Structure 1
Amino acid sequence: MLSCWKDGDFMGWIEGLNASMEYIEKHLDDDIDVVEAARLATCSEGQFRRMFSYVAGVGLTEYIRRRRLSCAALALSRGERVIDVAIRCGYASSTAFTRAFREAFGVSPSDARRPGTTLCVFPQLTFSLAVVGSEPLSWRIVTHDEMRLIGIAFPCDAAMDAPLIQMADEGREELRHFWGSASQAGDIERLFSLADDGGPRRIFGVNSVRRGDLTYHIAVSSSEEAPAWTDEIRVSRGSWAVFECVGPCEVATAEHYHRIYAEWLPASGYELAHDVSLEVYPSGDFSSTGYRSEIWIPVVERNEV
Structure 2
Amino acid sequence: MIGTLNALVDLVEQRHDARVDVPAFARAHATTEYHLRRMFAALAGMPFSEYVRRRRMTLAAADLVRGERSLLAVAVRYGYGSVEAFTRAFRSVHAIAPADARRTGGPLTTQPVLRFRLSVEGSTPMDVTVTDRPAFLLVGHAVEVPLVHQGVNPHIAEHVASIAPEEHARLKVLGATEPVGEPAGILAVTLGPDPDAAEGSPLTYLHGVAVRDGAPVPSDLDAIPVDAGTWAVFGSSGPFPDTLQQTWAATATDWFPSNPWRLRPGPSIVRYLELTATRATCELWMPIEPA
TM-score range for the pair, normalised by the shorter chain length? 0.7 to 0.9
Amino acid at match of 2:247: H
Classify 1:273/1:178 alpha carbon distance in 2 versus 1 (closer, same or farther; 3 Å). Answer: closer
TM-score by length of 2: 0.78
Classify 1:255/1:98 alpha carbon distance in 2 versus 1 (closer, same or farther; 3 Å). Answer: same
Q: Kindly indicate whether the alpha-carbon contact (under 8 Å) linking 1:202 and 1:220 is maintained by their aligned counterparts in 2.
A: yes
> Which ranges in structure 2 are unaligned for 5 or more consecutive residues?
177-181
- Report Cα offsets for 1:218-273 as digits up to 9, x if no partner: 142133326376232223132x2221222344322321111111111111233335
Choose from 238, 241, 255 the match for 2:246: 255
Q: Could you tell which deviates more after superposition, 96-105 or 41-50? A: 96-105
Partner secondary structure for residue 260 of structure 1: helix
Q: Distance in 1 between matches of 2:131 and 2:193?
A: 22
Which residue does the alignment assign to 1:18?
6
Q: Percent identity?
A: 28
Q: Does 1:184 align with 2:168?
A: no
Q: What is the 5 A alignment of 1:73-88?
A: 73-79=61-67, 80-88=69-77
Choose from 72, 90, 103 the match for 1:101: 90
Choose from 189, 206, 222 the match for 2:190: 206
Q: Kindly indicate whether the alpha-carbon contact (under 8 Å) linking 1:149 and 1:220 is maintained by their aligned counterparts in 2.
A: yes
Q: Kindly indicate whether the alpha-carbon contact (under 8 Å) linking 1:21 and 1:126 is maintained by their aligned counterparts in 2.
A: yes
Q: Distance in 1 between matches of 2:44 and 2:188?
A: 26
Which residue does the alignment assign to 2:116?
127
Amino acid at match of 1:108: A
Q: Does 1:50 align with 2:38?
A: yes
Q: Distance in 2 between matches of 1:185 and 1:232?
A: 19
Q: Does 1:110 align with 2:99?
A: yes
Classify 1:260/1:211 alpha carbon distance in 2 versus 1 (closer, same or farther; 3 Å). Answer: closer
Q: Kindly indicate whether the alpha-carbon contact (under 8 Å) linking 2:187 and 2:269 is maintained by their aligned counterparts in 1.
A: no
Q: Distance in 2 between matches of 1:91 and 1:210?
A: 24
Q: Distance in 1 between matches of 2:31 and 2:141?
A: 28
Q: What is the 5 A alignment of 1:141-156?
A: 141-154=130-143
Classify 1:47/1:85 alpha carbon distance in 2 versus 1 (closer, same or farther; 3 Å). Answer: same
The number of residue pairs the alignment matches comes to 276
Q: Does 1:268 align with 2:259?
A: yes
Q: Kindly indicate whether the alpha-carbon contact (under 8 Å) linking 1:279 and 1:295 is maintained by their aligned counterparts in 2.
A: yes
Q: Distance in 1 between matches of 2:196 and 2:250?
A: 25
Q: Distance in 2 between matches of 1:242 and 1:268?
A: 14
Deviation, structure 1 residue 40: 4.0
Classify 1:117/1:203 alpha carbon distance in 2 versus 1 (closer, same or farther; 3 Å). Answer: closer
Deviation, structure 1 residue 295: 0.9
Which residue does the alignment assign to 1:233?
225
Classify 1:255/1:178 alpha carbon distance in 2 versus 1 (closer, same or farther; 3 Å). Answer: same
Q: Distance in 1 between matches of 2:112 and 2:166?
A: 44
Q: Kindly indicate whether the alpha-carbon contact (under 8 Å) linking 1:55 and 1:258 is maintained by their aligned counterparts in 2.
A: yes
TM-score by length of 1: 0.75
Choose from 281, 297, 300 the match for 2:286: 297
Deviation, structure 1 residue 78: 2.2
Classify 1:97/1:195 alpha carbon distance in 2 versus 1 (closer, same or farther; 3 Å). Answer: farther
Q: Distance in 2 between matches of 1:237 and 1:144?
A: 6
Amino acid at match of 1:230: D
Amino acid at match of 1:237: G
Amino acid at match of 2:11: Y
Q: Kindly indicate whether the alpha-carbon contact (under 8 Å) linking 2:17 and 2:76 is maintained by their aligned counterparts in 1.
A: no
More helix per residue? 1
Deviation, structure 1 residue 187: 11
Q: Kindly indicate whether the alpha-carbon contact (under 8 Å) linking 2:262 and 2:288 is maintained by their aligned counterparts in 1.
A: yes
Partner secondary structure for residue 225 of structure 1: coil
Partner secondary structure for residue 262 of structure 1: helix
> Which ranges in structure 1 are unaligned for 5 or more consecutive residues?
1-12, 158-164
Deviation, structure 1 residue 113: 1.7
Amino acid at match of 2:167: E
- Report Cα offsets for 1:48-68 as digits up to 9, x if no partner: 221111111111121121112
